[in-house]
Amino acid sequence: MDLMTGLTAANQALGLVKQLRDLERAAGDAVFRDQIVKLQEALFDARSSLLDAKEALQEKDAQIAELGKAIDELNSGELCPACRNGKLKKIAGKKPRSQGMARAGIQEWTMRCDNDGCAHEETKLHDPNRFLEK
């Protein structure tokens, strides 16, 4: 059962509660008991549906988290220009020789391809404040 089925069952149960209030005063014991049984069944159905929906939502949340991690992994790093399969990963960082660049927060990063069959390595400038783009 899904969430909508659970909500429908809960609405039916609330409708039966209203009917029970009206019947309690006017009807005999047999009709009242029959309505109680129907109410219990509707409430059990609603509970079951809502528990199923809760489990499904938790499973979807876990899947979304896993997909988010996979996307982050795929988006991290630049594509290796040598093998075009691996990603360049930072293995070292240091201040550049230029004092001005160092003061601006620019760093020299040594990058290496994470593909085992590729030995490509390069140095690039990392500019977190984007001074070099201006």
Quick check: is 20 in a domain? yes
Q: How far is CA 32 from the centre of its chain?
A: 47
The per-residue pLDDT for 120 is: 94
The per-residue pLDDT for 77 is: 73
User: Are 17 and 59 within one domain?
Assistant: yes
Q: How far is CA 35 from the centre of its chain?
A: 42
Q: What is the pLDDT of residues 60-97, one digit of tens each?
A: 999 999 898 777 766 667 888 899 888 888 888 888 88
User: Are 83 and 120 within one domain?
Assistant: yes
Distance CA 14, CA 6 (A): 12
Q: What is the pLDDT of residues 23-53, one digit of tens each?
A: 666 656 777 778 778 888 888 888 888 888 8
pLDDT beyond 60 at 109? yes
**pTM tops 0.75, yes or no:** no
User: Are 92 and 60 within one domain?
Assistant: no
Quick check: is 133 in a domain? no
Q: What is the domain extent for residue 59?
A: 3-75
User: Are 89 and 114 within one domain?
Assistant: yes
User: Are 14 and 55 within one domain?
Assistant: yes
The alpha helices in the chain, defined as continuous H runs, are 3-26, 29-75, 99-103
User: Are 44 and 86 within one domain?
Assistant: no
The per-residue pLDDT for 113 is: 92
In the chain, how many domains are there? 2
